[in-house]
């Protein structure tokens, strides 16, 4: 069993961030050592890198499991990441809604409906995913960098293709 980041016991309604290889899985603590989470078929504690295949799933199941069976050997932390932005819902409402969804198959989309969207909607009434936002921001920055390199090459690159080809032939 991996300890929490601060070794603090979660309270019902807390968001649990589990650090898998290459991504984070999210669950909501409901008390007595249990969490409820949205789990694609490939999502389980010992799945390792193969759980990354969840991006290809379009359906996931709402499950209630012991926190340690979901965390496995991974690290986790309590991360109520949007408390400074939104007022958390009443704990009884969070848990009632989470339990009403148990066993249901829900649409799953890594960009619009993943496990982080699921738990933030339960806690705040707003489905959000910071890790998707980070990935998209990195993609935009990378795309801009590639575009910038291409633009620089176009501006400062060879002006006369024929001369450049001639020079290349002479160097052979």
Nearest CA to 45 among 78, 71, 76, 77?
Answer: 71
Measure the CA–CA gap between 12 and 30, rounded to whole angstroms: 5
* DSSP secondary structure letters along 133-167: HHHHHHHHHHHHHHHHHHHHHHHHS-S-HHHHHHH
**Active site members:** 25, 37, 115
Measure the CA–CA gap between 27 and 15, rounded to whole angstroms: 6
65-78 b/e (C-beta count within 10 Å ≥ 16 → b): bebeebbbebebbb
Measure the CA–CA gap between 18 and 121, rounded to whole angstroms: 18
| Backbone CA torsion sign across 73, 18, 115, 138 | negative
């Amino acid at each position: 069993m991996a300890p929490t980041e601060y070794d603090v016991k979660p309270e019902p309604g807390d968001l649990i961030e589990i650090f898998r290889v290459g991504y984070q899985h999210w669950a909501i603590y409901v008390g007595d050592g249990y969490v409820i989470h949205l789990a694609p078929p490939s999502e389980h504690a010992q799945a390792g890198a193969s759980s990354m295949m969840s991006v290809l799933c379009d359906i996931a199941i709402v499950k209630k499991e012991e926190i340690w069976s979901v965390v496995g050997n991974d690290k986790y932390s309590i991360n109520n990441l949007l408390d400074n932005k939104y007022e958390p819902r009443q704990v009884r409402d969070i848990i009632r809604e989470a339990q009403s969804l148990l066993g249901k198959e829900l649409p799953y989309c890594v960009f619009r409906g993943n496990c982080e969207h699921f738990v933030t909607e339960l806690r705040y009434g707003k489905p959000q995913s910071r890790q998707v936002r980070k990935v998209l921001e990195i993609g935009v920055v990378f795309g801009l960098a590639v575009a910038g390199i291409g633009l620089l090459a176009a501006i400062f690159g060879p002006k006369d293709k024929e001369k450049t080809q001639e020079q290349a032939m002479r160097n052979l």
